[in-house]
Chains A and B, each alone.
Chain A
Amino acid sequence: MERVEDLSFEAAAILSPLRHTRRRFYVAVAALLGIMAFAVYAYVQQFTRGLGETGMNRPIYWGMYIGNFVFFVSISLAGTLISAILRVVKAEWRRPITRCAELITVLSLIFAVVNIIVDMGRPDRLLYIAQHFRIQSPIVWDVISINSYLAASLIYLYLPMIPDLALLRDRPGRWRSLYRILSLGYEGTEKQHLWLERLTALIAILIIPIGISVHTVTAYLFATTLQPVWHSTIYGPFFVVGALYTGTAALIIIIAILRTSLRLRHVLKDVHFNNLGLVLMAEGLMVAYFLICIYLVEITGQEPHVLRVVLSEIQGPFALPFWGMVVLGILFPPFFLAFRKTRTVLGCVFASVLVVIAMWIERFLIVVPTLMHPRLPWPEGVYSPTWVEWSITAGCLAAFALLYMIFTKVFPVVSLWEIQEGMETAIPDVTERYKSYMPEKLGEEPV
């Protein structure tokens, strides 16, 4: 295994967060722990007094927690997109951001599950789902697909980290015994490297259908019921596209934070933001297309139960968040990102923040307006989240950030060996590949 000094690029900066911790880090940790403590207090209130502490009621039986769940699930597609899809299509620029992206997947799936448990009336009976499961229930489909995705993502985060763990084991520093255990005796021999490559390639391909199934099944949670607007065949693919959009935006924000706080400007370069910005633009257009498909068809259909829900969004009590979400979060970002002048690092981050907020609102608007308008003429429901729901939501985001920060202190958040491998092999590989696209020269034998 090569030593850090042998790497042909400035790797010390990537490893320096493992060695040196700035004061700002501790301040941030303290702040996040404070938010989390408050969320725990809020949850204890809810646990002892019941879900009446939230703003939910009849008929709005699901609220912010389910919206958060769908939101966290949708962020999780970031990892699959970058580290698996871009790997399969051999996009070489992916190399420095694969691990950041895969970590988002793992953590967001954990907090998706946390939100479901928080939403349960009887969290003490959680294991009944394993004990008494009925395969007909879409909740069980979700449990199966999310757990598979979490397992596959953990493996996919861990496997490509083994060479870096071996490298850390072989140099002086903290937690060497941890790295010794985790690196599984990896020495970088040709055989080990080959197996690593094979396994990574296999999981990269497996994880794509699993990832898509997670978002589809999460949509089925709503679409398989008979409720107006939810009961739609387009919901599955719509959730996949929405997840691509949200996940990419979250990734842009996170690599922007990493780049400034860990001083990785020379690794997470402007070109990564440019490329991710273009990806985000395309995904935004797809989401806009899906929204037109859904709303235009529903409005022209004039089915009274459906129309009531749709009208409450486009001109009723939800008009402000709805149009804010559509204009600022879905129509504006692709337009803004289309120009090279505005597609700067700062521009990409700006657009991504809009997208993440808008897509959270979008998830909320999927859950609440439908439940507010049941089919029978009951009085219209009213829902406004209480401090308990807001605190627990803030606590989830804080815990997400904290775990991410702790990871950057224990493991290199940028893959060293993948970059090294890229620098050694990518240029000849790509040259070879591009040559193979070109027509044969005169007098040359076809390859």
Chain B
Amino acid sequence: MNDLREGSSKPAETHRRSFFTTLAAALAGIFLLPRRLFSSEPARERLRRKWGMVIDLDKCTGCQACVVACRAENNVPVAGPAQTQNDRGIFWMDMLEVSEGSYPDLQRQLTPIPCNHCENAPCVKVCPVGATFINEEGIVAQVWARCIGCRYCTTACPYSRRYFNWQAPSWPETMKNQLNPDVATRPKGVVEKCTFCHHRIRRAREKARAEGRELADADVRTLPACAQACPAEAILFGDLGSPESEVSRLARSPRAMRLLEDLGTHPKVVYLREAKWKE
């Protein structure tokens, strides 16, 4: 030890000082840490984009092409008839049947319902390990490799838009060679959900960059699998953060509403409907 110190160009005093400086810096770092810890949701101004979806219920025919397209695109496992009967089926995009009125004045509104990608997401707040978070484009993302399967997010979501893998995922033999290589399959015991097809967004951005331009509204208008499959063009996708985009314009229309708005979750899926909702 002594030899080393004598061999060094700096006296022992300097060593000690630098040690204390490092220590002080480390302590200061610990005090700065909580700010990072408490802001899991990126501040709005830090968001590069605010991807959102507009679903026009007046155009929707209830054909459920979006539900099927979503399954195929995202390698959603097939639970089988028995397990689906037991409410174990997984539907990133699902159809919610809203009954309105009562017989004889009874109506049913079929409502395609993906994840709402809430700006103030109740699921993100409760995750103990950060397996779900809001990324810099406003997407509520899920990291299968981090998820511990506690299912707190699934109970916290007021829209029931999160699904758990109750068993190992499986597909019928004929579908096994059709899995989408862009989307990872999920193991049993983790939670999964709609991602707004973020792998498609990434590909579209790479294409735009290769062509030397910014990602335009037209590139993403029907980008997610559900929007692409919709024969009525009832589902539109875009950047709710830029006021000129088509989705922003539609979201400002008097026909626009969001699900359970009074909870303050700020969903980024906007529904359009002319008629008033009946009890």
- Interface SS of chain B: helix, strand, loop or mixed? loop
Interface 1/0 per residue, A84-117 and B, CB below 8 Å: 0000000000000000000000000000000010
Contact of B130 among A57, A119, A134, A374 (CB under 8 A): A134
User: Does A191 lie at the interface of the complex (its beta carbon under 8 Å from any beta carbon of B)?
Assistant: no
Given contacts A122-B189, A378-B96, A378-B160, contact A138 B148 (CB under 8 A): no
Report the bound CA distance from A137 to B123 in whole Å: 10
- Residue with the highest number of chain A CB atoms closer than 10 Å, among B147, B188, B191: B188
Contact of B155 among A61, A135, A143, A376 (CB under 8 A): A61
- Contact check, B188 vs A376: say whether CB atoms are below 8 A apart: no
Contact of A140 among B128, B146, B190 (CB under 8 A): B128
- Contact check, A132 vs B126: say whether CB atoms are below 8 A apart: no
Instruction: Categorize the interface residue count of chain A.
Output: 35 or more
Report chain B residues within 8 Å CB of A119: 150-151
CB distance from B94 to the nearest CB of A (A): 9
User: Does B163 lie at the interface of the complex (its beta carbon under 8 Å from any beta carbon of A)?
Assistant: yes
Report chain A residues within 8 Å CB of B159: 374-376
Report the bound CA distance from A197 to B115 in whole Å: 58
Given contacts A129-B128, A376-B159, contact A52 B167 (CB under 8 A): yes
Interface 1/0 per residue, B145-177 and A, CB below 8 Å: 011111110111011100111111000000000
User: Does A35 lie at the interface of the complex (its beta carbon under 8 Å from any beta carbon of B)?
Assistant: no
With both beta carbons as reference points, the residue of chain A lying nearest to B265 in the complex is identified as A226
User: Does A4 lie at the interface of the complex (its beta carbon under 8 Å from any beta carbon of B)?
Assistant: no
- Contact check, B155 vs A120: say whether CB atoms are below 8 A apart: no
- Contact check, A134 vs B37: say whether CB atoms are below 8 A apart: yes
Report the bound CA distance from A377 to B150 in whole Å: 25
Interface 1/0 per residue, B31-44 and A, CB below 8 Å: 00010011010000
Give chain A interface residues in 56-96, CB to chain B under 8 Å.
56-62
User: Does B122 lie at the interface of the complex (its beta carbon under 8 Å from any beta carbon of A)?
Assistant: yes
Tell me which of B4-12, B56-64, B81-89, B228-236 binds A: B81-89
User: Does A225 lie at the interface of the complex (its beta carbon under 8 Å from any beta carbon of B)?
Assistant: yes
Contact of B167 among A49, A122, A221 (CB under 8 A): A49
Interface 1/0 per residue, A355-379 and B, CB below 8 Å: 0000000000000000100111110
Report chain B residues within 8 Å CB of A59: 87, 154, 160
Report chain B residues within 8 Å CB of A378: 96, 160
Report the bound CA distance from A185 to B159 in whole Å: 61
- Contact check, B148 vs A58: say whether CB atoms are below 8 A apart: no
Report chain A residues within 8 Å CB of B191: 121
Report chain B residues within 8 Å CB of A133: 128-129
User: Does B125 lie at the interface of the complex (its beta carbon under 8 Å from any beta carbon of A)?
Assistant: yes
User: Does A344 lie at the interface of the complex (its beta carbon under 8 Å from any beta carbon of B)?
Assistant: no
Report the bound CA distance from A137 to B38 in whole Å: 10
Given contacts A50-B188, A136-B125, A143-B128, contact A121 B164 (CB under 8 A): yes
- Contact check, B164 vs A61: say whether CB atoms are below 8 A apart: yes
Report, nearest first, the 6 A-B pairs whose CB atoms are least far apart: A121-B149, A121-B189, A52-B166, A57-B87, A139-B128, A50-B167
Chain A to chain B contacts (Cβ below 8 Å), 24 pairs? A50-B165, A50-B188, A50-B189, A52-B88, A57-B88, A58-B89, A59-B87, A116-B150, A121-B149, A121-B150, A125-B149, A129-B148, A134-B127, A136-B40, A137-B128, A139-B152, A225-B126, A225-B155, A226-B156, A227-B155, A374-B160, A377-B98, A378-B96, A382-B87
Extra contacts besides A58-B88, A121-B147 (5): CB < 8 Å: A56-B166, A61-B151, A125-B146, A135-B38, A376-B159
